[in-house]
Amino acid sequence: MKVLAVASEAYPLIKTGGLADVVGALPGALAPHGVETTVLLPGYGPILRALSGGKVLHRYTDLMGVKARLLVFANAPFPLIVLDAPDLFGRDGGPYGNDAGVDWPDNWRRFAALGRAGADLAAGVAKAYRPDLLHAHDWQGAMAPAYMRYSGLDIPSVVTVHNIAFQGRFDAAVFAALDLPAAAFAVDGVEYFGGVGFLKAGLHTADAITTVSPTYAAEIGDATFGMGLEGLINARRADVCGIVNGIDTVVWDPATDPYLHANYTAATLRRRAENRQAIEAEFALTPGKGPLFCVVSRLTWQKGMDVLAETLEDLVAMGGRLALLGSGDVALEAAFVAAAQRHPGRIGVRIGYDEALSHLLQGGADAILVPSRFEPCGLTQLYGLRYGCVPVAARTGGLADTIIDANEAALSGGVATGYLFDGVTRANLTRAIARVLDGFSRPKVWRALKRQGMRCDFSWSHSAQRYADLYQSLVKRNP
């Protein structure tokens, strides 16, 4: 079966978050299940510069008002088609906005074009390639199923919600340029609270909806988590399912990870000390007896980083240290930098994005803090589990589905893998940190926790099977 994945990022070509890890890993994970996945990505400058030898699959003289080409690459990390449209994607800055973090004003046109190109491929615009099913990721890919529906195409489609907080909402004025029938501007089409909603359009028109953990699939039916889309999610409940993300166990393997100073396995955990020393040097931390916590995160409200910033005094007072890597809200960045200045040797902060350092932190810190207010799946806790870096996380979404809390019953049953707490507040996070300190002071308990986490299988094999089964069922429904 041939599946076209329509997405705005895919590791290792372009990444701003977990979406890229998932889209980049799925083609390899699905191949053993008989699914041949081709990824359709926008032709951002860095992608086109990294690849060579693209062959033209199709030329547009006018795609949403610009010239464009569909290029297929044989030398990419996975089967890849790129939408080369320099007027839309060939600019300096990030995939969604400029270097100052301001969204590109024409994002509606950029990602409508991506969706349109996906739908055109599904319709057979390129002789050399036509998928049996289209899989759209997040709002940036979500217009593809809408274009398919409004052009009467009966090839099945899936939309995956990686984070329902990002919805691709635009002014009603853009509708006229979307090249859709007038009837599509309706509650059962792309209209959303008086404007246009790309994710809403995809959720309405795709044959199936998935999200990235079972708990998040349930949560988004609730107003707190659904963020305006809960009604639609509930109306389509029979077509919604949660499939937890896997991780790339080759890229993320402490036994071979080239970013670590010392490689190790569950049997050689002592070697992590060398990585911890490297972190201490990198973050100017004073070696100490207490646990070394780390954070690898976008610095945002979603991730509970404001609550963590408030809790740092408690963390330090209790004897913890922290190495934080992240970027995001300017005020939060400043708060963490100020905390590091107040607590030299105890708190180290690196503002920015650094793939190598993110691996080292997982390979050397004792615990990773993930106090998210909501978390569709979360990957950093999965990397933590695999690396013996004990996750300390809020009980929500994928965090609740992938971590087993170290309560006495779970500890005595030998199944505990981390610490979960309810309600993202300073008091609750402080209590969770106190529990970590207690566990850390009991070497047998701590070793068991780390080993149990490392034994968990978060590879793609199970979840890829679920995607393959879903694809099969949809293709059978539309032979």
Binding site for ligand ADP (CB under 6 A): 17-19, 21, 296-298, 325-327, 353-355, 358, 377-380
Q: CA 457, CA 462: separation in Å to the nearest integer?
A: 9
Comparison of 191 and 257: residue with beta carbon closer to ligand ADP: 257
Cis preceding-peptide flag for 79 (omega within 30 of 0): no
Between 148 and 296, name the residue whose CB sits nearer to ligand ADP: 296
Q: How far apart are CA 395 and CA 5, in angstroms?
A: 31
Minimal distance, residue 19 CB to ligand ADP, in Å: 6
Name the nearest CA neighbour of 275 among 335, 202, 363: 363
Residue type, 208: A
Q: Closest distance between ligand ADP and the C-beta of residue 330, in Å?
A: 15
- Report which residue's Cβ sits closest to ligand ADP: 18
Taking the least distance from each CB to ligand ADP, the nearer of 20 and 81 is 20
Q: How far is CA 394 from CA 260, 313, 382, in A?
A: 28, 19, 14
Closest to 332 measured CA to CA, from 351, 363, 305, 368: 305
d(CA 185, CA 179): 11
Which is nearer to ligand ADP, 370 or 404 (by Cβ)?
370
Least separation in angstroms between CB 14 and ligand ADP = 12
C-beta closer to ligand ADP: residue 131 or 378: 378
**Residue number, 17 or 319, with CB nearest to ligand ADP:** 17
The distance of closest approach from Cβ of residue 358 to ligand ADP in the complex, given in angstroms and rounded to an integer, is 4
Residue 384: C-alpha distances to residues 304, 361, 389, 442 (Å)? 18, 9, 4, 20
Which of 197, 204, 138, 144 shows the shortest CA–CA distance to 169? Answer: 197
Q: How far is the CB of 326 from ligand ADP (least distance, A)?
A: 5
Nearest to 339 by CA among 358, 313, 321: 313
CA-CA distance, 465 to 461, in Å (whole number)?
6
User: Smallest distance, Å, CB 309 to ligand ADP?
Assistant: 16
CB of 211 to ligand ADP, least distance (A): 12
H or E segment to which residue 5 belongs = strand 2-6
In the complex with ligand ADP, the residue whose CB is nearer, 240 or 295, is 295
